[in-house]
Amino acid sequence: MGYVNYEVNGYVAKVTINRPEALNALNGDVLKDLSDTFDAIDTDAVRCVIVTGAGEKSFVAGADIGAMSTMTKAEGEQFGKYGNDIFRKIETFPVPVIAAVNGFALGGGNELAMSCDIRICSANAMFGQPEVGLGITPGFGGTQRLARIIGVGKAKEMVYGGRNIKADEAYRIGLVNAVYENVEELMAAADKMAMGIASQAPIAVRNCKKAMNEGLQVDMDAAIVIEEKLFGDCFETEDQKAGMGNFLEKDKSKKLKVVPFKNK
């Protein structure tokens, strides 16, 4: 794809937004390439996805301000929906998605990172929703996901004030799980984390994602029913038999089998 690089290493796929001349800002073409890339991922073969930005300066510096500058109300709403649909696709993607934030994650960039399951970053990363300074609200989920991740009070402070924060503060408030000294260390850590996830039983990992994502949208009574169904769904799989069998036989040499995902 023109604005998105895609590579697969074993069970791990890497999606790199590649528009460094505009700090990987998201215009319609970049968003389309991102969407098409996720649509083309073979989820029978890939067990974890890493999303990052090209270069050492920026993950994604937001939606493209030039492209948005002339939009009408209707076009703005339409563009918001376009981005939201793609980010929701990433959020509900069957396998875990890790955002490796290698620099600016502003506006739509922070929103992209927040649609991923896990965020880690390099020390030069900067996060924020600066939209109010441009006369708009966050429009790709920022008014919704930020509060769910870092809490309502802190999110309102960041969004109302359009205040960007550095990596150490993002770590302190729980927006990222870890900070690495530079982009090279970040990408090595992202690979290691992704391979660790990919080495676990794939149906179980996918069901964990679904259980956590869907359970958090409903009350506890409904949430535990979601868990029960996905827990039950793991039984009779080859992985469940092999995983428990290995434990009971005390055989650590056996690996979990690769089984195609059946719950797409």
Per the listing, tokens 């870890």 go with 178
In three-state secondary structure terms, 262 is coil
Residues 190-219 touching ligand CO8, rule: CB under 6 A, are: none
State yes or no: residue 62 binds ligand CO8 (CB under 6 A): yes
State yes or no: residue 189 binds ligand CO8 (CB under 6 A): no
Residue whose C-alpha is closest to residue 110's, from 89, 125, 88, 94: 125
**What is the C-alpha to C-alpha distance for residues 141 and 226, in angstroms, rounded to an integer?**
24
* 74-82, 170-178, 200-208, 211-219 -> range binding ligand CO8 (CB under 6 A): 74-82
Consecutive H or E run containing 127: strand 126-128
**What is the C-alpha to C-alpha distance for residues 96 and 116, in angstroms, rounded to an integer?**
8
Write down the least CB distance from residue 57 to ligand CO8, Å.
Answer: 7
Residue whose C-alpha is closest to residue 136's, from 159, 152, 158, 157: 159
Instruction: Please identify every residue annotated as catalytic.
Output: 111, 131
Write down the least CB distance from residue 28 to ligand CO8, Å.
Answer: 11
Residue of 53, 130, 202, 243 that binds ligand CO8 (CB under 6 A): 130
State yes or no: residue 53 binds ligand CO8 (CB under 6 A): no
Residue of 4, 30, 51, 80 that binds ligand CO8 (CB under 6 A): 80
Q: And the tokens for 215?
A: 């359970």
* 47-55, 76-84, 116-124, 153-161 -> range binding ligand CO8 (CB under 6 A): 76-84
Q: And the tokens for 220?
A: 């506890």
Q: And the tokens for 148?
A: 């769910």
43 vs 164, beta carbon nearer ligand CO8: 164
**Chain residues in the site for ligand CO8 (CB under 6 A):** 22-23, 25, 61-66, 68, 76, 79-80, 83, 104, 106-108, 130-131, 134, 138-140
